[in-house]
Amino acid sequence: MTESELPSVPLSVLLADPALGIRQIAGPARDPLVSTVGTTEIEDPSPYLVGGELLLTAGVRLPPDAEGVDTYVRRVVAAGVSALGFGVAPVHQEVPAELVAACDRHGLPLLRLPPATPFVAVGQATYAAIAEARNHELREISRAQSALAAAAARPDALQAVLDRLSGHTGAWAVLLDARGDELFSAGTRPASPAPERVRDLAARTTARAHTRGAGRSVPASAADHRDGVHLTVHTLPGGDGTAGSLALGQVTLTAPTLIHRQVTGTATVLLALLTSPRHALGTDTRSAGALVRLMLGAAPADVAPALAPAGTAYAGHWVVVHGRHTPPRSAPAPHPGDDPAQLATLGTVLGTPYLYVDGPALKALVPSAPDARPEVSTRAADLGWVLGFSAPAPASELARADRQARRALQRATAAQEPAAVHTEDPLTVHGLISPADAQDLARARFAALDRAGAPGAPVLLDTLRTWLTLHGSWDRTATALHIHRNTVRHRLARVGELLDVDLQDTGVRMELWFALHWLPDGTRPQD
């Protein structure tokens, strides 16, 4: 997600809110995007800023002289702050003139917050406005997907999809073959040389997609933005799932937005389905229509009956299967996705035509009765597959069944069994990894602390554990350990250096917390 696509709201939305009563008193008249609201009363907040903030302050520690104020403003501008909000009273009865002058000088919008407007109210209003903006984007995407679904059902489906795509993105949309020749187009044709440029870009992208040198990835899209003209190209997969000979090109005079990209992605998938002679459901038009509806927003429960294989009685439930292909090392076999005979055999074993094979990975949907237990055939193991089965689930709960199948496959792999079926055992994070593996992971994670020197790995681990327990509070950790807060900082800096991690990263903290939980008491990391 680019910076412009982060959840944000224009500053003008907050200025127009009568309940806040804030007004801009300095800085340019531009309308920057605000992605978050922060409050600070420290002399230099720049190390703690990420950009895009509406920074609020009451000036408790604002420098007393014009030079200091200028330095303060220059720093927050360099940190990427969108605007500065100053709350008058009780510290300052009015916004200091030095601050007004500095914001004008450095181009930073300065807002005056009246005494009756709490900083918390500004944050609440900002996040409410961001949520509404994101909901608006989602509604626009949903409407566009519905329109594309309707277009796909028309006799002139390709032209209709391009028409809807152009209407929702404002772009000139064109379907091109491998040579760059136009097959269909929609929207206002741009002036030369934009059509020629998008044709050349499509031809180059399609040619590269067919080049599969060692270590090279296959590009699925390309872009060329210059002179205010934005070109994008998306290659469509061919009938065998590899790069095909068709490409979707677009030309627009405005930068693609999140809505633009989401709608284009949906249209690309749909065009690939419509132009491919072979897709997941073959030539069964009833099932193909169900897939189109499902991909474009229909509820799974609405289309599931049409997906029931011919000759079966649809019982309303499905079992999700995850698989991993692990042929014997002595006799490696090609991935079944490359072997139609093996793929057909696997479909027969599982009792479903709905298979998706991506390299060694498998996903499948098997029609089932609500209370039926999945049948595990030894034939799948003979073909080199380890499988995980979900419990039967209605179509509306397939996402949950998908997670069950994934976890069942993990259990089967860990136990070296040919298959595992989901059980209703209580699910915990610690239950996802065996105790032995958890201890090995913890020892390996902290092995680098043995190079710490004084005060030693046990002391560093104890400091880290206490600091994490106290939610990253330096002062409370120092109090609990009866040491100076600078000692805490020094120890944790050493931990971060030895483990090569950023302890300010929430994900890193969570990982280390679990590793500490799994580390056996009284053991050294490498034991």
Tens digits of pLDDT across the chain (527 residues): 444 556 889 999 999 999 999 999 999 988 999 999 999 999 999 999 999 999 999 999 999 999 999 999 999 999 999 999 999 988 999 999 999 999 999 999 999 999 999 999 999 999 999 999 888 888 888 888 888 888 887 767 788 889 999 999 999 999 887 777 787 889 999 998 999 999 988 888 877 766 544 344 455 788 888 888 999 998 886 544 445 568 899 999 988 888 888 899 888 888 877 765 443 334 455 666 666 776 777 777 777 776 765 545 566 788 999 988 876 554 445 555 554 445 655 666 687 778 888 888 888 888 888 888 877 766 677 667 889 999 998 888 888 899 889 888 887 887 778 888 887 655 556 556 667 777 888 888 888 888 878 888 889 888 998 998 888 888 988 888 889 989 999 999 998 888 898 988 888 888 888 888 888 754 545 44
**DSSP-assigned letter for residue 430:** G
Q: What are the tokens at 453?
A: 């020197």
CB-CB neighbours of 470 under 10 Å:
15
**DSSP-assigned letter for residue 461:** H
Return all residues near 438 (Cβ < 8 A) that are at least 6 apart. Answer: 430, 518
Site of tokens 């990263």: 505
Return all residues near 320 (Cβ < 8 A) that are at least 6 apart. Answer: 363, 364, 365, 366, 389, 390, 393, 398, 401, 402, 404, 405
H-helix or E-strand spanning residue 319: strand 317-325
Rounded distance between C-alpha atoms, residue 170 and residue 252, angstroms: 7
Rounded distance between C-alpha atoms, residue 175 and residue 476, angstroms: 63
- Whether cis (ω within 30° of 0) applies to the bond prior to 193 is yes
What distance lies between CA 472 and its chain's CA centroid? 27
Are the C-beta atoms of 164 and 144 separated by less than 8 Å? Answer: yes
What distance lies between CA 96 and its chain's CA centroid? 43
CB-CB neighbours of 147 under 10 Å:
19
